[in-house]
């Protein structure tokens, strides 16, 4: 009898690209039926707190809260290489003044929000669905917007100005990739299923890299109106070599992020980093 495993991931081009071979049945796990659950990342962050889904994408910032229940997968991480979330505004704002302005954030448990606290401090914030943030800034509901996903490369077309690039700030400080999102598996699934799930995701990512056009065609369904070349650029920014395997550099980056959060008093202890 097949076991059903629910995998939560966001309806975004990079996740769609990564999971396409699993979704299409090109990659299979014997004895396991995969059920895909599509939710935005902050909803998945919230759901992970109750351990509801067997496998889910979460922000690295949320892993700090759920490490007892969930284990990281080695494949599938979203890491920026000199790029990441950005702060935008209708007009230039000096970096030293950001903390005095209202920032629209995509969720308080996103890694973007954690990076804002690390690099900027504690500005007043409002939570807005990530794809509505540009509009919230343009309409004056917030002075600045913290953009994730493709907004990082399309903000200028919307008439917004980049004020601070948190990916660049991280790169300048650490020289390491920036850990943003990670896939996690419930610890009670056991080692054998952990290994099977991780291997299947790694094969799905490798298949997408080897068949970019077909996987991209599927990813475009979740592109929120962006053109194919913008979609390709965005997907290949975040489905990169660290997505196939964290490696020593990826693990060092995660350790640095968690250690920084601990030093700033945001968490009481650094959780286990034991990806499989």
End-to-end C-alpha distance for the chain, whole angstroms: 25
Active site residue 149: yes
The dihedrals phi and psi of 219, each to the nearest 5 degrees, come to -60, -30
DSSP states of the chain as a string?
-PEEEEEEE-SSHHHHHHHHHHHTTSS-BTTEEEEEEE--HHHHHHHHTTT-SSEEEEEHHHHHHHTTTEEE-SS--EEESS---EEEESS---GGGGGGS-EEES-TTSHHHHHHHHHT----EEE--GGGHHHHHHTTS-SEEEE-TTHHHHGGGGT-EEEEEHHHHHHHHHSS-EEEEEEEEEGGG-HHHHHHHHHHHHHHHHHHHHTHHHHHHHHGGGSTT--HHHHHHHHHHHSSHHHH--HHHHHHHHHHHHHHHHHTTSSSSPPP----
Total residue length of the chain = 276
Residues pairing with 236 in the sheet? none
Residue in 9, 109, 149, 194 annotated catalytic: 149
Q: Which two tokens stand for residue 24?
A: 């299409």
201 touches 22 (CB < 8 A) = yes
In 3D, which of 49, 44, 54 has the Cα closest to residue 15?
44
Kindly list the catalytic residues: 149
């Amino acid at each position: 009898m097949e076991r059903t495993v629910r995998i939560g991931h966001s309806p975004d081009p990079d996740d769609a690209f990564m999971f396409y071979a699993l979704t299409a049945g090109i990659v299979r796990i014997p004895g396991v039926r995969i059920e895909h659950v599509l939710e935005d990342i902050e909803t998945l962050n919230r759901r992970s707190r109750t351990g509801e889904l067997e496998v889910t994408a979460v922000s690295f910032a949320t892993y700090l809260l759920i490490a007892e229940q969930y284990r990281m997968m080695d494949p599938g991480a979203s890491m920026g290489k000199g790029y990441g979330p950005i702060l935008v505004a209708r007009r230039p704002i000096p970096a030293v003044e950001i903390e005095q302005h209202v920032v629209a954030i995509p969720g308080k448990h996103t890694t973007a929000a954690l990076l804002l606290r690390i690099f900027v401090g504690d500005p007043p914030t409002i939570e807005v669905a990530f794809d509505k943030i540009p509009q919230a800034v343009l309409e004056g509901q917030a002075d600045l917007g913290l953009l994730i996903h493709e907004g990082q490369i399309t903000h200028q077309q919307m008439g917004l100005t980049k004020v601070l690039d948190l990916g660049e700030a991280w790169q300048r400080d650490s020289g390491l990739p920036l850990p943003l999102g990670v896939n996690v598996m419930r610890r009670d699934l056991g080692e054998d299923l952990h290994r099977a799930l991780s291997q299947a995701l790694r094969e799905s990512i490798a298949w997408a890299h080897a068949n970019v056009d077909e996987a991209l065609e599927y990813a475009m369904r979740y592109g929120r109106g962006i053109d194919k070349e913008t979609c390709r650029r965005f997907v290949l920014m975040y489905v990169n070599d660290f997505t196939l395997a964290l490696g020593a550099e990826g693990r060092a980056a995660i350790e640095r992020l968690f250690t920084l959060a601990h030093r700033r008093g945001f968490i009481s202890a650094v959780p286990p980093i034991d990806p499989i």
